[in-house]
Amino acid sequence: GGTAVVAAVDLGATSGRVILGSVGENELGLRHVARFANDPVAVTEQRRSALHWDVLGLYRAVLTGLADAVRSEPEVASIGVDSWAVDYGLVRDGALLGVPYHYRDERNAAAVTDVHALIAPEDLFARTGLQHLPFNTVFQLQAEASAGRLGLADTALLIPDLIGYWLTGHAATEVTNASTTGLLDPRTRTWDTDLFARLRIPTGLFPRLIQPGEHLGPLLPTVAARLGAPSHLGVAAVGSHDTASAVVAVPATDESSTTAYISSGTWSLVGVELPAPVLSEAAFAANFTNEGGVDDRVRFLTNVSGLWLLSESMRSWEAGGSTPEQRSSGLAELLASAADVTGPVPVFDASDARFLPPGDMPARIDAWCAEHGVAAPRDRAEYVRSILESLAAAYARAVDQAAALSGTTIDTIHIVGGGSQNELLCQLTADATGRTVLAGPVEATAIGNILVQGRALGRVHGSLESLRSLVARTFPPRRYSPRLEGRPLP
C-alpha cells in the first residue's frame, strides 16, 4: 500500500524527458523535471553523410535530470528507462565501440537485399511477426557485418539497455524492445536462435532477456554519488520500447467495445492490443507488426509516418528554434493557420519511403504531387493542412485494416502522446475514420513507465485494465466526434 515516487526517463526521437511520478492505488501524479531536445548529428563517413544519435549528450542530460529529480524528491524509489526502438550500441569488454546509428541513416538498403537473399521477406514475417521496416535491427546488424564491425563486438545493447548498463553496470535486453529487432519469436518471446544462425549473427550478441517489472540492479556507486542518490536506488525494467509503455497508459475503460490506439509522436503507431500475434499472409501484405507488449500482450499495429513530417518541414522553414519550448510556440502558430485553410489540399501517401530520411519535406511533398498529377500546397498553412489531412487518411486506412485483420470491431480511437495536443489532427482523425477520438494523455509513455515501476514496488496492483482505469480517472481524455460532411469546425 501507500504511495511511491519513481523517476521515468523517456527518450523520444524528437525530445527526451525525466519525469517524477507519484503512484499509489488511487494516485497518479506527474512532475516534469527535465526536458531536452534529441537532435541527431550528421558526420562524414567515406564521403557520405551518416546520421548518428548523440548518445553521450543524451546520457548527460539523463544524469542531470536524475540529479535534479533526486534533489527535489530524495525518496525516489526507482528509475525506469524507455526510448525509441530498434537502435543499439555495439560493445566490447563493456566499452561502446562506436557512435550508435540513427535508424534514419541510409546505410540499410544494401543490408535489406543481403538479408532477403538469405531468408525471404514472408518467412521473416512468419517467424518474427514484424512488419518490414528497412531499419529493423536485423538489417542494421547486417550492415555492421558488411562493414566489418559486427565481429569486433561481443555485445549489442538496445538504447534503453545501454543507458541502464551505464547506470548500473548490468547488461540485459528488455523484451518489449527486443521484439522490434526482427530476431525474436513473438509466440514464445524468446530469441529465434535458428534465425541468428542463418543470418550469421552470434547467438549471444544480446544479453539475457528481462521482463518489464524485473529489477535490473542498483546504481553503480560512482553513478549514485554523481546523482546524490542513496546507494540502494536502482533501475527497474519497464516496457522499454516507448510505444509499449505508451500502450500501457491508453485510458481505455470500455471493455465491451474494441478500441484502437494511435501513439502519436515522431511516428504514429496505429493498432490494437491482442492476446496473441496475427501472422497471416494478409497481415504481412498490409505491413502490420506484432510487437511485444507489457504483460505478454501483443501490439498489433502499423507504423505511419507521424509528426516527423511536420517537424522536419518546420526545420526546413527554420520555424523550429532549438529548445522544445521554442519549437512548440512556432508549431502553435502554424497549426492555427492550418485550421483556417478552407480550400482543398493534396492528400499524399504519408508512408511513401521518400519521407523517411531527413531533408526538405515540402520539396518531397511537391515531388509526390507532381508525380500524381495533383496541385501542390501553395503556402505553409496549406502544407501543414496537407500533412495533417494525409496523416488522418492514413490513420483511417490503418484502423480499418487493424479491425479487419484482427477480426474486431473498432468504434473508439485513443490518441496518446505529444500529437494528442494537436486539436486539428484529432478532429480530422475523427472525421476521416468516422469514429470517436479520445485524446490524451500527452505523456502516456512516461505514465506507462511509471505505472510498471509502481506495480513492481507493490503500490498499484492488477492487470493493465486496472492500471488503465487509474489513468482514465486521473487524466480524463478529451472527446472529438466525427463531423458530418460540410459542417464547419466547432
Are 13 and 266 in contact by the 8 Å Cβ rule? The answer is yes
Q: What are phi and psi of 19, to 5 degrees?
A: -130, 135
Closest approach of Cβ 82 to ligand ADP, in Å?
A: 10
Side chain identity at 130, as an amino acid letter?
L
Max Cα–Cα distance, the chain, nearest Å: 64
Give the N- to C-terminal CA distance of the chain in Å, as an integer.
45
Please tell me the distance from the alpha carbon of residue 420 to that of residue 444, in angstroms, as a whole number.
10
Comparison of 299 and 459: residue with beta carbon closer to ligand LRH: 299
Q: Is residue 140 at the binding interface for ligand ADP, with CB under 6 A as the rule?
A: no
For residue 369, the 8-state DSSP code is H
Q: What are phi and psi of 18, to 5 degrees?
A: -120, 125
Q: Is residue 15 at the binding interface for ligand ADP, with CB under 6 A as the rule?
A: yes
Are 40 and 93 in contact by the 8 Å Cβ rule? The answer is no
The one of ligand LRH, ligand ADP, none whose footprint includes residue 14, by CB under 5 to 8 A per kind, is ligand ADP
All 3 cell numbers of residue 490?
Answer: 466547432
Q: Is residue 176 at the binding interface for ligand ADP, with CB under 6 A as the rule?
A: no
β-bridge mates for residue 290, sequence order: 300
Closest approach of Cβ 6 to ligand ADP, in Å?
A: 19
Stretch that binds ligand ADP, among 40-48, 186-194, 229-237, 415-423 (CB under 6 A): 415-423
In the three-class reduction of DSSP (H, G, I as helix; E, B as strand; rest coil), residue 60 is classed as: helix
* Cα–Cα distance list, 34 to 37, 61, 241, 312 (Å): 10, 8, 20, 23
Comparison of 36 and 125: residue with beta carbon closer to ligand ADP: 36
Q: Is residue 313 at the binding interface for ligand ADP, with CB under 6 A as the rule?
A: no
Q: Tell me which residue has cell 479491425.
A: 403
The one of ligand ADP, ligand LRH, none whose footprint includes residue 251, by CB under 5 to 8 A per kind, is none
Please tell me the distance from the alpha carbon of residue 47 to that of residue 70, in angstroms, as a whole number.
45
Closest CA to 334 of 377, 304, 376: 377
The one of ligand ADP, ligand LRH, none whose footprint includes residue 103, by CB under 5 to 8 A per kind, is ligand LRH
The one of ligand LRH, ligand ADP, none whose footprint includes residue 136, by CB under 5 to 8 A per kind, is none
All 3 cell numbers of residue 434?
Answer: 468516422
The one of ligand LRH, ligand ADP, none whose footprint includes residue 243, by CB under 5 to 8 A per kind, is ligand LRH
Closest approach of Cβ 98 to ligand LRH, in Å?
A: 19
Stretch that binds ligand ADP, among 12-20, 117-125, 186-194, 393-401 (CB under 6 A): 12-20
Active site residue 192: no
Q: Is residue 14 at the binding interface for ligand ADP, with CB under 6 A as the rule?
A: yes
β-bridge mates for residue 48, sequence order: 45
Closest approach of Cβ 421 to ligand ADP, in Å?
A: 4
Q: What is the DSSP string of 255-275?
A: TTSEEEEEEESSEEEEEEEES
Comparison of 242 and 312: residue with beta carbon closer to ligand LRH: 242
Q: Is residue 419 at the binding interface for ligand ADP, with CB under 6 A as the rule?
A: yes
User: Using CB under 6 A, which residues numbered 293 to 312 contact ligand ADP?
Assistant: 307, 310-311
Provide the mask over 318-357, with x wherever binding to ligand ADP is found by CB under 6 A and - wherever it is not. ----------x--x--------------------------
From 10, 87, 192, 242, active-site residue: 242
Binding site for ligand LRH (CB under 6 A): 12-13, 84-86, 103, 241-243, 265-267, 269, 303
Please tell me the distance from the alpha carbon of residue 421 to that of residue 440, in angstroms, as a whole number.
7
All 3 cell numbers of residue 51?
Answer: 546520421
Comparison of 108 and 427: residue with beta carbon closer to ligand LRH: 108
Stretch that binds ligand ADP, among 21-29, 85-93, 229-237, 413-421 (CB under 6 A): 413-421
Provide the mask over 250-279, with x wherever binding to ligand ADP is found by CB under 6 A and - wherever it is not. ---------------xx-------------
Q: Cβ atoms within 10 A of the Cβ of 487, count? A: 9
Q: Tell me which residue has cell 546488424.
A: 141
Q: In angstroms, how far is CA 166 from the centroid of its own chain?
A: 22
Binding footprint of ligand ADP on the chain (CB under 6 A): 12-15, 265-266, 307, 310-311, 328, 331, 417-419, 421-422
Which residues are catalytically annotated? Answer: 242
